[in-house]
Amino acid sequence: MEPSLLSLLPPVVLIALAITTKRILLSLAVGIALGALLYSQWNVLASLSLVSGIAGGLIIADGEVAEEVYILAFVLMLGALTSFIYVSGGLRAFSQVAIRKVKTRFHAQLVPIFLGIIIFFDDAFSSLVGGNVSRSITDQHRISRAKLTYLVDSTAAPVIILTPISGWAVFIAATMSGILDENGVTAYSGYEAFLLSVPTNFYAITAILFTFSVAYFGISIGPMRRWERRAVEEGVVVDPSRGPVPGEADRNLPVRDDGKVSDLVVPVLTLIGVTVIGTVWIGISQTDGAITPMQVLANTDVILALFFGGLIAWVLAGARLLAKRTPAGQVARAGLSGIRSMLIAVAVLFMAWMTAEIMSLLGIGDYLAGLIDGALAFALLPALVFVLASFVSFSIGSTFGTFGLLLPIAAAIAVSVDPGLLIPMFGAVLAGAIFGDHTSPLSDTTILSSIGSGIHLIDHVTTQLPYAFVCGVASLVGYVILGLTKNTAVGLLVALATLAVAVFVLRRGFLSETTREPEPGAATEELRE
């Protein structure tokens, strides 16, 4: 079908339904059905065939097991691993040590922020591991899971997209290289263009800086205010009315009394170590000729390495339990309980991928990209591209899809209008893609962050939205000034100044009891070890 305004109907209905009903699986199912019917021109049989074909393609692609299967398997193993660590007593021991070492809410919130900065090479790894490792500390300091997930999500993709050495950098640089060749630009290479675009990625920069401000000043706005107040006053870090959260260990499982910090640290370090080593080894083994960091990253398979890291850590944690003479039946029950806790999360992730495929077929990105032809004020092009990239990413739930779609269009316009705007236009596309990603329930990083931190997806989306909006507005103002002055430094300074003003206003207007230090360790019964 030809892309049109009607193409926007499925994502609009899906997102509206998800926010109003808070039933994400139902909303995704409606979005998939509506999108398939629309694409098939309301032919039910053709729609069913389309949906089954998309689902099959997410399992077997080109005769091989699809990458998505490894991600789903890792999510299930992460649930079992978390359960093993809980039963071993490692979580309790680690929490007791953490309470002595991490003494304030501010310091507790720095843990997920710095983990996000340290794990800079893969967004899925950062989203899942950062929240899973941090939540035992943040729970003890009565920091809501909503706040934790926001901190994890805001230091995953924003950090990675600013990092010169990452899988994202390789993909973006390769994309830019082809675009520069097509437009006859020889002033810099694709990788140099990516590096030059880093300071023009206003959203990623402001999003990271805002996390420190939020943690230090205790800024709680919108729905987050209610979550934080409940956490501080009642010790309830999740919404008890929403049922079990993904990845939460069954608190009815028996916990060993001889648990040690090593029962948590060893499996987690094994997961991280095997993943990092596997990433490098796969990259080297797949590289012909000179072996450089960029070539290794270009040829590696982080998802496969993550799968084996999770598998080995899971087996190791189970073996350690058995070595302590934990009954095999108890170990099996713990593993199955952990897997069961992730089933809904796996279903959400799988259906979100299906939705993204259908949105792509509907040509939503092409339709929105076509709107840029109406741009008349050339000085506003960076701002316009930022807004457009945000809408595209929000609608299709894919940052890479947004990159591939809009980077060529932005370059073609910049070259024809003002070559000096080429790098800022690149940066605006990258920034808008991340902004849209942060606000969309279809985004895989948004979903994975909620899984890793143990919160329902729609709760994460609704509580993160105001924070993303603050950075989005600051970035938009910066792009307007950049377009008017043709000066990246001035645009960035204005964006940062706008963010600083927002922090000042929010600190004065929303500073509340959620910033006070509660007695650590006084968690509610659902989360007490």
Q: What is the pLDDT of residue 529?
A: 39
**Residue 181 amino acid letter:** D
Token pair for 14 = 């899906």
Higher pLDDT, 232 or 293: 232
Q: What is the pLDDT of residue 352?
A: 80
Angle between helix 328-341 and helix 67-88 axes, rounded to 10 deg: 130
CA distances from 402 to 7, 15, 68, 171, 356 (A): 16, 19, 19, 13, 12
CA distances from 350 to 170, 198, 229, 244 (A): 26, 32, 33, 20
Burial class of residue 509, CB neighbours in 10 A (0-12, 13-18, 19+): exposed
Is 257 a residue whose pLDDT tops 50? yes
Q: Does the residue 528 lie in any domain?
A: no
CA dihedral sign, ordered 371, 375, 379, 380 = negative
Distance CA 331, CA 88 (A): 10
- Average pLDDT rounded to a whole number, residues 251-275: 86
Distance CA 251, CA 86 (A): 9
Task: Specify the 3-state DSSP secondary structure of 389.
Answer: helix
Q: Does the residue 529 lie in any domain?
A: no
Q: What pLDDT digit, counting tens, does each position of 128-140 carry?
A: 778 888 888 899 8
Is 5 a residue whose pLDDT tops 90? no
Q: What is the pLDDT of residue 220?
A: 92
Burial class of residue 261, CB neighbours in 10 A (0-12, 13-18, 19+): middle
Is 455 a residue whose pLDDT tops 60? yes
State the distance between the two ends of the chain, measured CA to CA, in whole angstroms: 55
C-beta of residue 473 within 8 angstroms of C-beta of residue 503: no
Q: Does the residue 351 lie in any domain?
A: yes
Q: How confident is the model at residue 244 (pLDDT cuts 50, 70, 90)?
A: confident
Distance CA 184, CA 411 (A): 11
How many domains does the chain divide into? 1
| Residue written as token pair 């922090």 | 503
Burial class of residue 294, CB neighbours in 10 A (0-12, 13-18, 19+): middle
Is 509 a residue whose pLDDT tops 70? no
Domain range for 200: 5-515
**CA angle at residue 163 from 157 to 169, to 5 degrees?**
85
Higher pLDDT, 344 or 508: 344
Q: Does the residue 525 lie in any domain?
A: no
Higher pLDDT, 290 or 332: 332
What is the DSSP track for 50-90? HHHHHHHHTTEETTEE-HHHHHHHHHHHHHHHHHHHHHHTH
Is 514 a residue whose pLDDT tops 60? no
**Residue 358 amino acid letter:** I
Q: Does the residue 523 lie in any domain?
A: no
**CA angle at residue 502 from 201 to 484, to 5 degrees?**
45
Q: What is the pLDDT of residue 89?
A: 87
pTM here is: 0.79
Distance CA 457, CA 448 (A): 9
Q: What pLDDT digit, counting tens, does each position of 365-383 carry?
A: 677 767 665 545 677 889 9
Q: What pLDDT digit, counting tens, does each position of 314-370 carry?
A: 999 999 999 999 999 999 999 998 898 788 878 887 888 888 788 888 887 677 767
Q: What is the pLDDT of residue 67?
A: 83
Strand partners, 64: 61
- Average pLDDT rounded to a whole number, residues 442-461: 89
HSE-CB at 237 with a 13 A cutoff on CA atoms is 30
Q: What is the pLDDT of residue 251?
A: 64
- Average pLDDT rounded to a whole number, residues 483-508: 94
What is the DSSP track for 285-320? HT--SS--HHHHHHH--HHHHHHHHHHHHHHHHHHH
Q: Does the residue 192 lie in any domain?
A: yes
Q: What is the pLDDT of residue 199?
A: 96
Q: What is the pLDDT of residue 143?
A: 94
Q: How confident is the model at residue 526 (pLDDT cuts 50, 70, 90)?
A: very low
Q: How confident is the model at residue 291 (pLDDT cuts 50, 70, 90)?
A: confident
What is the DSSP track for 236-278? --S-GGG-PPTT---TTS---TT--THHHHHHHHHHHHHHHHH
Q: Does the residue 522 lie in any domain?
A: no
Token pair for 122 = 């893969």
**Which range (165-174, 245-254, 433-442, 477-486) has the least confidence?**
245-254
Rounded to 5 degrees, φ, ψ at 389 are: -60, -35
Q: What is the pLDDT of residue 317?
A: 94
Q: How confident is the model at residue 301 (pLDDT cuts 50, 70, 90)?
A: confident
Q: What is the pLDDT of residue 191?
A: 81
Question: Nearest Cα to 209, choosing from 103, 117, 108?
Answer: 117
Q: What is the pLDDT of residue 511?
A: 52
Top mean-pLDDT range of 12-16, 70-74, 95-99, 226-230? 226-230
- Average pLDDT rounded to a whole number, residues 18-33: 85
Is 451 a residue whose pLDDT tops 80? yes
Q: What is the pLDDT of residue 247?
A: 64
Q: What is the pLDDT of residue 527?
A: 44
Q: What is the C-alpha radius of gyration for the chain, rounded to an integer number of angstroms?
A: 23
C-beta of residue 359 within 8 angstroms of C-beta of residue 10: yes
Higher pLDDT, 285 or 371: 285
Distance CA 54, CA 121 (A): 29
Percent of the chain scored above 90 by pLDDT?
41
- Average pLDDT rounded to a whole number, residues 87-108: 83
Residues 6+ apart with CB under 8 A from 412: 183
Higher pLDDT, 157 or 119: 157
Rounded to 5 degrees, φ, ψ at 261 are: -60, -35
Distance CA 516, CA 142 (A): 11
Distance CA 282, CA 300 (A): 5
Q: Does the residue 470 lie in any domain?
A: yes
Is 524 a residue whose pLDDT tops 60? no
- Give me the chain's average pLDDT, please: 86
C-beta of residue 170 within 8 angstroms of C-beta of residue 292: no
Q: How confident is the model at residue 148 (pLDDT cuts 50, 70, 90)?
A: very high
Give the number of other CB atoms < 10 A from CB of residue 241. 6
